[in-house]
Structure 1
Amino acid sequence: MNVSSHRAATLPQPSPANEPTKDSAGGVSSAPGASPKRPKDRSPKRKSKWRYVRRTLYVLVALAIIVPTTAFVISYSQAEVPRPSDMRVNQVATIFATDGTTVLSKVVPPEGNRTEVPISDVPEHVRNAMLSAEDRNFYQNRGFSVTGFFRAARDNIQGKESAGGGSTITQQYVKNALVGSDRSVSRKWRELVISAKMAREWSKDDILAAYLNTIYYGRGAYGIAAASKSYFGKPVGDLTVAEGAVLASVVRSPSSLDPELHSQELTARWNYVLDGMVEMGVLPSAERAANVFPPIIPTNQVGDENVARGPEGLIRTQVLNELRAAGISDQDLNTGGLQITTTIDPKAQQAAIDSVTSIFEGEPAELRTAVVSIDPRTGAVRAYYGGADGAGFDFAQAPLQTGSAFKVFGLVAALKDDIPLSAMYSSAPLTVGSVSISNVGGETCGTCTIAQALKQSLNTSFYRLTRSMENGPQKIADAAHEAGIPENIPGLPGKSLSQDNGIPEDGIVLGQYQVRPIDMASAYATLAASGTYHAPHFVQRVVTADGTVLLDRLPEPGEQRIEPAVAENVTQAMLPIASYSRGHGLAGGRPSASKTGTAQYGDTGLNKDAWMVGYTPSLSTAVWIGTEQAQAITDLYGSSIYGSGLPSDIWKKTMDGALEGTDVEKFPFPDPIGGQAGVPAYSAPAKPAPSTSAAPPPPPPLIVLPPPPPMRQIEILPGITIPIPG
C-alpha cells in the first residue's frame, strides 16, 4: 500500500461550510464563521391569544374615541347655525280692517295656525312646566344628549318603530326647524352637531322661545299661542299653572294624549309634569296639591281659522291676490307673521252686511247680491260683499250685464263731444234695421233734454244719442274705460265692451256688455272725484312680526282721465235720480248721484240682473242682485225685480249706515259744456213765448225711421226687442 494513499484515507476530512461538528466532548459546535444557534425549545412556540385580544381592544377603543371625535370636530366646524333673528317659522298672518284692530280674517300656513310670541309673554310657570316635561336640565346641559344619540342609532339599526327619544329641548327644536324628523343615523348626527353649536351661539331663552313657538301641540295648533287658544280659548299670558302643565304634557305625543280620547293617560302625564316642577324647586308642594286638572274646550268647539266662514273670506282672497301682485311672496306670507291692514271700514262693512241681511229677509232663497263701496278720493275699498260664503263664488267679481246703469257713460261720451245736458232727443219708440227699441213700461218724455232722459232712464233717447255721435258706440266704450272699466276683465274672453274684440254695437249704451260690480263702483267713483281715477285696492299697510314694513301705501294724486267739467255735469244729471227712483234719497237730504239698471231675461218679460249704483263725494257704492244660474229674479210677492226696488233698498241702507255721523258734502258745480252748466231749468221744448221774449233755440233734428214689417218681437234687454219671422 502506498503511504500517501493511506494517509489520505485515514486523515479526517474537513466539514462542509456551516455544517456543525462535534467537539471532543461529543458536543456539537458551530462551523467556523456561523452564528451560534439557540438550543431548541421543546415547549409549543405560539403567541398568547390574550395578547391579540388586548391589542384588538386597544385599537377598537382608540377608534371609538378618535374617529367620532374627529368626525364631530369636522362636522362642528362645517355646521352653519343661523342666528335667532334669521329663523323664520310658519306663522299666521292677520288681516285687519282699516282701524288696525278689527280682525277680518287670518291666513293660516299649511303647517298650522302658528302665531309667534316673545318669551317674555309666556308666564314663567308655563315655561317651567315645559322644562319639567321635556328637559329638566335645559339651562345646565350643552344642548345635546350623547346617550340619546347612541340609543337612537341602536334602535334605527335594529329597525325599531320607537327609534328616537331622549332628546333635549335644543335637539327637538333643531329637529323640527332645521334637520327634519326622518329616522336615520345621519340625521341624528346632524341634530347632535347643530344642537351643540347652537347651545354655544344662542342664549337659552332664545332656544326656549323658538321651541315653544315651533312645536306641535295637537288640534292643528303649532306654537304655544295657538295651543293656548285651541285648548283653553285664551291668550298665553292668561294660562294657569294647571293649564300650562296640560300643554307641556301633550307635546310628548299629541295623538295618544288627546284629552277627549285618552284623558287617563293625559292626566297621568300631567301629574308627572307637576311633580317634576316640585322636584325642580319651581312649584311649592302646597300649591302643587291645590292644583286640579283644568277643563278643556271640546274639539267640536275649536274654531278652524283656516276656514273662511263669512263674507270676509272673500275679502281675504282679494287681499292675497293684491299682496302677490305687490311682490310679497308666499314665504313672506307664511313665515313673516304679517299684520295686514286693509282699507275696509268696519262701519261701512257692517252697514253692507246688515243691509243685505235685513232686505233679503223673507225673499226667495235663490237671490244673490254683491255690494262694493269705494272711496272716490283714494280708490280704497271700504265695504265688500260678494256673497255670504267666504269660500264660495264671489259675485262682486262676476261679469254681469249692467242694463241702464251704463247710460251714464253714454252721457260722458256725449259731453266729451260737446253735446250739452240741454240737448234734446225724442223718446218715441224707434227701429234700427231689425231691432226695435222702446222704453220700459211705455215711459216717455216726448222730446226732452238728455238730462231728463237720464232721470227717466229712457232707452230710446239714449239710443238716438249714441247714433247721433260719429262712432258713438266706440266713444262710449272709451269713456267707460277712462272711468275705470278694465279693458280686460277676468272671466271674459278678449277685450271688454266690444263685439267679438271689434267695434261695440249701439246696444252698449243700454248695458249690453258685461261688467263686474267692483268695476262699476270704481268707474262711478271716478265721476265722484271730478274725473280723477284711483285704482281700487284693498291693502293699506303690511308689517312683519318683527316690525319690518313690507308695504305702506302712500296717498296718490290719481290720474285725471275725464275733464272735471264733463264728470261734474254728469253728476248734476244724476243728482235727482235716487229720490225719483221710489224715494231712495239718502238720509238727511244728503246729496247723491246715482243710476239704476236692469237686464232682461230672454223673451220672458222678466229680469235677470238689477242694479243700483251711486255716490257721494266720499263714497261710491254699487249693488247688484241676480241669481247663480241667470234665472228670472222675482221678489217675495212674485213681482219682477228692477233696479229701483231691492237693489236701491240695499244701496240706500248701506250708504246711510256708512255715512251716518259724517259731514254732509256737496258736489262742485260744473263749468258749462256747449253753453250749458248743470241740468237746464227746462226738460222739454219751451212753449211759444210772448212776442216780447226770444224763443228758445229749436231742438236738434229727430231720428225717425220707418216702422218694421209685421214680425214677432222678442225683448232681449229692457226696451230692446228683435224680430222673429212668423
Structure 2
Amino acid sequence: MKKVVIVLAALFGGGAILAAALVGGMYYWASLDLPDFKRITDYNPPLVTTVYARDNRVLGYFYKERRFLVTIDELPNHVSRVFLAAEDSGFYEHEGVDLLAIFRAFVKNLQAGHVVQGGSTITQQVIKSLLLTPERSYKRKIKEGILAYRLERFLTKDEILTIYLNQIFFGARAYGIESAARTYFGVHAKDLSVAQAALLAGLPKAPSKFNPFADPEKAISRQHYVLSRMLDQNWITQEQYDDALAEELVFKSMEDPSWHQGAYYLEEVRRRLIDHYGEDRVYNSGMHVYTGVDLTHQVAAERSVRKGLEASARRRGWTGPNSHLEEEQRETYLTENPFVVEALEPGEWIEVLVSEVEKDQALVRFGEFKGVIKAKDLSWARTPDPSKATEDVPPVKDCALVLKSGDVVWAEVKAVPPSVLNPGTKAPKGGPVWELALRRRPVVQGALVSIDPRSGEVLALVGGYSFAESQFNRATQAERQPGSAFKPIVYSTALDNGFTPSSVMLDAPIVYTDSETDKVWKPENFEGVFFGPTLLRNALCKSRNLVTIRVAQRLGVRKIIERAKALGLEADFPEDLSVSLGSAPVSPLNLAQAYTAFARGGSIVKPRIILKVESAWGDELEINEPEYSDAISPQTAYIIASLMKEVVRDGTGWRARVLKRPVAGKTGTSNDEQDAWFVGYSPYLLSVVYVGFDQLTPMGKYETGSRAASPLWVDYRMAVEAEYPIEDFPQPPGIVMARIDAASGLLAGPKSEKTYFLPFKDGTQPTETAQDGGGSGPNPSTSSKGEDLLKQIY
C-alpha cells in the first residue's frame, strides 16, 4: 500500500511538474512575439474632429472613423453597467482573465466541434482590438490572457473600461458609445436611458445581425437579454426592468450638419487645418476647432448669394430647358421622380415636365401633380444678348416662344394650393393646380465675406452658388480685379499727400502711352462722358475714373502701391496708372482686410476664421488672438469713411440707403462688366460681395457693382442689422467740419447753390469763401486754382 502511495505521489508530482512545464512552455511560446502592451496606455484612437461656430453649435465634422471621445465620469452609471452585464459582469473582480468564463467557453466549443464562444473579458477585448489580430485560435487566446493580466497592473479598471467604450464598433459606421448613441437614437451618450443603453450594449457581439435599422426585432430581443442580465446582477430593480421593457424605442440618427449650412466656411477651415497640422491629424486626432462663424449671418449670406445670382441669371435671359423628353419617355420620368407635396413651400424649386403650352400659360406636371406657369412668370426669359440690358428688351408675353411640350425645366413654387394647405378645402376638378414661376440655375458665380472689424472674426463666408456643384471658394481662392472698389485706397493716399475732399481735379480725356510697350491707353468714365472740374468728394462718390487717374499721376504709382501693401493687400501690382482703377486682382477676403482700416479708425485687423484649436483631451493647440497693424491715421480713415457714406447717400451705393443707418460703401466694376463688387461697412460689420463668371466673360450691359453686387449685400445686411444698435463712425481729434461750395470747393458763401458738409484734417480746410452762386466750374477768382487745372490738361 505504501508503494502505491509513493508511486501515485511520484506520478502526481511528475504530472504537476510536467503540467507546470507545459504551462511554462506555452507561456514562453506565446510570449515570444507579444506586442508592447504599454502602447495602450497612450490610447489615441481615430477620433472625429469637430468644428464649432462662435456660439458652440456644430458646423461640421472631419473623420475617417466616426468616434467621439467620452470618459467614464461623463456617463451615467447605468450606461457602463449594461456593457458589463452584456460582456463581463465580473469585470471589477477578476485580474484581466476570467478562468471560469474561459472554461465555460471551452466546454461549449468542445460540444460544437469548433470555436463558437470566446469567454473574453473586457480587458481581453481591448487587447484583441488594439494589439492582436481577430483570428480565433488558442495561441491568440493565450496571448490575450497574458497581455490582459499585464495591462490590469498598468491601468485602472475605469481607464480600461473607458478605452473599451470608446473603441468598440457598433455598426453603421459608429465607433464608440457616443457615436452609437448619436447614430441609433439621436442623443448624446450621457442622455441614454436604461432601455436605449441596453440595446446598444447588445450590438458589439454582432453589429450587422442586431442592427436595429435593419432588424429591430433581433435588436430588441438582444436588448431583453441584456436587461435580464442587469436584473440578475441586481444593477436595476424590477420596476426599472419593467419600465425599460415597456419603453418604446425610436431609432433615428442625430443630424450631421457637415456640408449643409456653411459648407464653404467649413471647407476653408479644413484647408487651413490640413496646411497647419496635416491631413492624418485633422481626420484622426479628434481636435475641437472653434471658429468665428455666426450661423445666423452665414445662413443669411448664403440665401442672399443664391437669390442674387438667380436674379442675375434671369437678367441675362433664357438659355433653354434642362432637358427635353420625347412622348414615350415622359410617363416613365414622372413615375421615377415622385414628390411629397406636403414638404413644398413657397420659394422652393422643383423640376417639372412641360405638358402643354399656350400663349398665356404653360401647363406642367411633377410626379402625380399638376402646375401652371403663366406668361407673367416667364416674362424675363428673353433671348440672351449681353449688349442689351434687361430694361432695353420688352418682356416676353408668349409662353410658346420659351417652352414646348416635353421640356424639363426648373420652377419656383409661388403659392401652395388651398386644398393642400387645408385638407378639408374642396379641391378643384382634376386636382389642385400649383402656381409656379419659370426659373433657371445661374452659371454666374459670386462670393460674400462678412467680418467684425473690431475683432477680425469672419462671421460669414460664401464662396459660390452651390458647394455641391463647385467646391472652388471664390471668397478666398478667386482673385479678380476690384475695379473702382480700389479707389478708396487711392484717395486715402491722396489725403496724406496734400489733397482734401474739396480739392478740384479735372475730369477730361487723357491718353497714356506705355514707354516700354508703346501701347496707348485711353481710359473713360463709365458713362462715357466728361464732367470737367470735379471735387475729390464727387470723384469718389460718382466713381470718376479720369479724376482718379489724374490723382494717381500727381501722387505717383509707387505711393499708391505702398499704401495698398500697408493695408494688407497681397496682389501683384502693375507699376502703371491702371493700378489706380483696380487692375491688380485680389480676393474678397483680402479686400475685406484692407477695408478694415477705414472701418476701425486706421488700423487693419487680420481676418480670423479659426479662433482656437484644442486636442481631444482639451489641451490648447492653437489660439488666434486679434492681430492689429497701424496702416493709416485715424483722421484719414474718418474722412474716407465720411466720403464713402456720401457714396451711399448720393452715389453708386444708393441701394444701401434702405438700411436707414450710417453705412459707408463703394461699388467696383472691372472692364466690360466682367467683375462686379460692393464693399460696405459700419463700425461693427464689414461685408464684401463679388459677382462674376469663373471664366472671364462680360456679364452684360449695366451689370455693375451697383446692379449686380450691391443687391446681394443689401439683402444680407437687412437680415442681420437688427442684431446691432445704430452706430456712426466716431470723429477723432484733429478733424474739423466745413460747409463747402459744391461748384468751387471753397467755403460756401451766401450765394452758393449747392453745398456739402465735409470733414478736413485741421489746418487743411479752405479759407476762402465762394463769391458767386456757383455754377459748374471752379471759382475764377482764384487764379492759382485755374492754372492748376490747365496743368492737368497739358
Please indicate, yes or no, whether the TM-score normalized by the shorter chain is above 0.5. yes
Q: Which has the higher contact order (CA 8 A, sep 6+)?
A: 1
Tell whether the 8 Å contact from 1:368 to 1:626 is kept in structure 2 after alignment: yes
Residue 464 of structure 1: CA displacement?
2.1
- Select the residue among 454, 477, 482 that pairs with 1:377: 454
Whichever residue aligns with residue 439 of structure 1, its letter is N
Q: Give the superposition deviation at 1:405.
A: 0.7
Equivalent position to 1:698, from 785, 788, 792: 785
- Distance in 2 (alpha carbons) for counterparts of 1:246 and 1:553: 43
Q: For 1:376-409, what per-residue CA distance to the aligned partner results, in whole angstroms no more than 9, with x for missing partners?
A: 2332212222235456221101111212111122
What is the aligned partner in structure 1 of residue 474 from structure 2? Answer: 395
User: Are residue 479 (structure 1) and residue 563 (structure 2) matched?
Assistant: yes
Rounded to whole Å, the distance in 2 between the matches of 1:481 and 1:444 is 31
Equivalent of residue 503 in structure 2, options 379, 404, 423:
423
Q: Where in structure 2 are the equivalents of 1:456-475 lying within 5 Å?
A: 456-470=542-556, 472=557, 474-475=558-559
Equivalent AA in structure 1 for residue 69 of structure 2: E
Distance 1:641 1:678, change over 3 A: farther
Q: How many residues align?
A: 616
Q: 1:183 to 1:529 in 2, by over 3 A?
A: farther
Of 689, 693, 702, the residue aligned with 1:623 is 689
Deviations 1:292-328 (A, max 9, x none): 5854536xx66456x4123x22222333444566x65
Write out aligned runs for 1:430-441 (5 A). 430-433=510-513, 434-441=520-527
Match of 1:131 in 2: 84
How far off its partner does 1:576 sit? 0.6
Amino acid of the structure 1 residue aligned with 2:52? F
Structure 2 distance, partners of 1:286, 1:591, is: 66
Letter in 1 for 2:537: A
- Code of the aligned partner of 2:61: K
The separation in 2 between residues aligned to 1:186 and 1:538, in whole angstroms, is: 53
Counting only pairs closer than 5 Å after superposition, residues 453-532 of structure 1 correspond to structure 2 as: 453-470=539-556, 472=557, 474-487=558-571, 496-498=572-574, 504-532=575-603
Q: Give runs of aligned pairs for residues 13-412 of structure 1, distance below 5 A.
A: 61-69=19-27, 79-80=37-38, 83=41, 86-99=42-55, 101-107=56-62, 109-112=63-66, 114-144=67-97, 165-179=118-132, 181=134, 190-284=143-237, 288=241, 291=245, 294-297=248-251, 303-304=255-256, 307-310=258-261, 312-323=262-273, 333=282, 337-360=286-309, 363-364=312-313, 365-366=441-442, 367-387=444-464, 389-390=466-467, 392-397=471-476, 398-412=478-492
Q: TM-score, normalised by structure 1?
A: 0.74
Three-state SS of the structure 2 residue aligned to 1:371 is strand
Bigger Rg, which one: 1
Tell me if 1:633 matches 2:695.
no
Gaps of 5+ in 2: 1-10, 107-112, 314-440, 514-519, 747-751, 753-769, 774-778
What are the superposed Cα offsets for residues 150-170 of structure 1, whole Å, 9 maximum, x if unpaired?
Answer: 9999xxxxxx99798432111
One-letter amino acid of the structure 1 residue matched with residue 526 of structure 2: V
CA separation of 1:597 and 1:704: change in aligned 2, threshold 3 A:
same
Inter-CA distance 54–660: structure 2 relative to 1 (3 Å threshold)? closer
Give distance in 2, aligned partners of 1:191 and 1:426.
89
Distance 1:693 1:268 in 2: 100
| Structure 1 residue 483 displacement after superposition | 0.9
Deviations 1:264-294 (A, max 9, x none): 5434433432333333333455654661585
* Cα distance in structure 2, aligned partners of 1:448 and 1:594: 20
8 Å CA contact retained: 2:505, 2:547: yes
Q: What are the Cα deviations for residues 440-462 of structure 1, in whole angstroms up to 9, with x where unaligned? A: 12354321122211111111111
Deviations, residues 358-389 of structure 1 (Å, cap 9, x unaligned): 54565522233211112223322122222354
Q: Do 1:96 and 1:339's aligned partners in 2 also have CA atoms closer than 8 Å? A: yes
Preserved contact between residue 464 and residue 703 of structure 1 (Cα < 8 Å): no
Q: Does the CA-based 8 Å contact 2:445-2:691 persist in structure 1?
A: yes
Structure 2 Cα separation of the partners of residues 221 and 77 of structure 1: 27
CA distance 1:690–1:288, shift in 2 (3 Å): closer
SS at match of 1:341: strand
Q: Please give the secondary structure, in 1, of the residue aligned with 2:569.
A: coil
Deviation at 1:217, TM superposition (A): 0.8
Native 8 Å contact 1:403 1:512 kept in 2: yes
Q: Is it true that 1:689 corresponds to 2:768 in the alignment?
A: no
What does residue 665 of structure 2 align with? Answer: 594
Q: Verify the 8 A CA contact 1:421 1:451 in the aligned structure 2.
A: yes
RMSD of Structure 2 on Structure 1 (CA)? 4.1
- 1:54–1:541 Cα change, 3 Å: closer
Structure 1 equivalent of residue 386 of structure 2: none
Against the structure 1 CA distance between its residues 219 and 184, is the aligned structure 2 distance closer, same or farther, given a 3 Å change threshold? same
Confirm or deny that 1:567 pairs with 2:637.
yes
> Which residue number in structure 2 is paired with residue 721 of structure 1?
none
Please give the secondary structure, in 2, of the residue aligned with 1:217: strand
- Which whole-Å CA distance do the structure 1 matches of 2:569 and 2:105 have between them? 65
- Tell me how far 1:195 sits from its aligned partner: 1.6
In the TM superposition, residue 231 of structure 1 has moved relative to its aligned partner by: 0.7
1:410-461 deviations in whole A, cap 9, x for unaligned? Answer: 2133234333333322222333243222111235432112221111111111
Q: 1:413 to 1:186 in 2, by over 3 A?
A: farther
Q: Report the equivalent of 2:429.
A: none
Superposed displacement of residue 228, structure 1? 1.0
TM-score by length of 2: 0.68
Mapped to 1, the partners of 2:606 and 2:481 lie a distance apart of 22
Aligned partner of 2:677: which letter? W
Letter in 1 for 2:508: A
- The residue aligned with 2:654 is 583
Deviates more, 1:410-419 or 1:662-671: 662-671
Identity %: 28
Secondary structure of 1:94's partner?
strand
Task: State the alpha-carbon separation in 1 of the partners of residues 504 and 114 from structure 2.
Answer: 89
* Secondary structure of the structure 2 residue equivalent to 1:259: coil
8 A Cα contact 1:524 1:614, kept in partner: no
Aligned 8 A contact 2:458 2:607 in 1:
yes
CA distance in 1, matches of 2:239, 2:636: 82
Secondary structure, aligned partner of 2:260: coil
The 1-side partners of 2:548 and 2:728 are apart by 28
Q: Unmatched 5+ residue regions in structure 1?
A: 1-52, 154-159, 488-495, 499-503, 602-606, 707-726
Amino acid at match of 2:146: V
Residue in structure 1 matched with residue 324 of structure 2 by the alignment: none
- Deviation sequence 1:607-664 (CA, Å, 0-9, x none): 2221100222222211111233344436xxxx64221124212223433443425343
Query: After superposition, what is the alpha-carbon deviation per residue over 1:461-495, rounded to whole angstroms, capped at 9, x for unaligned?
Result: 1122223333x2x33222211112125xxxxxxxx
Of residues 689, 712, 723, the one that matches 1:650 is: 712
* Contact 2:677 2:688 (8 Å CA) reproduced: yes
Q: Distance in 2 between matches of 1:524 and 1:104?
A: 27
